Structure 1
Amino acid sequence: MKYIKQAFLCVSCCLILSFAASAQTKSTAVINQELSSSRKKIDSLDKLLISVLGSRQRIVQEIGVYKKKNNVPPLQPARFKEVVDRAVAAGSKEGLSAEFITELMNSIHKESLRMESDTTVKN
């Protein structure tokens, strides 16, 4: 009788733990469905980010033309430092790390320099 009670207790514990684990585990389909709305928002913001970057780069091209016409070197270290410092401050207000913002701005700047150097001056 003692062993039957222990076995019953053991089986009961296993069933409870199994039920608790299955209640906590959601299927991939359920997880994807629950995240769908947030993911759509991220997709929309990503599209907006790319659009804003495209607009920024079109202005970079205009600056590149001006610099070439006026023999101004593409790299302006003091200006870039101002841009990064301002971005780090703005990023901080959004909870973004200085490292992330600096890395992001360095990537944007690298692309800007590439675009400026590819710019042709139209007469």
Structure 2
Amino acid sequence: MNRGRRAVLMWTGLAVAVLAGVLSFLSWDRADQVAGVVSAVVGVAALGVGVYGALGPPRGPDVQVSGTGRAVSRGGGEANTGFVSPAPTTAPGSVSVSDTGDAEADGGGANTGFRQG
């Protein structure tokens, strides 16, 4: 279990314990009112978190590459006529690569399309 999940479980347990403690010291009618308000707030928060999760991870910008020239690399370098994306925490948006030139590498890497990471 990662640190973030452990922290969420810890804070959730703490919130439940505090709420139970507060409700135990209130009259029955007052506890019922507080529990109703807390339930409504938690329900709206859960709906927001669920929708956020359903939308998926954030996307980066859209990329379009076309009509590139020739690239040549010697001695272990990189030749690129397409698109190379670093390994980000967010995936790029749509990527369109067309009509790229030739990429030639001697002892290295060559890319004429799309490569991530």
- Asked if these proteins are the same fold (TM beyond 0.5), I'd say no
**TM-score of the pair, normalised by structure 1:** 0.31
Q: TM-score, normalised by structure 2?
A: 0.33
Tell me which protein shows more helix as a share of its residues: 1
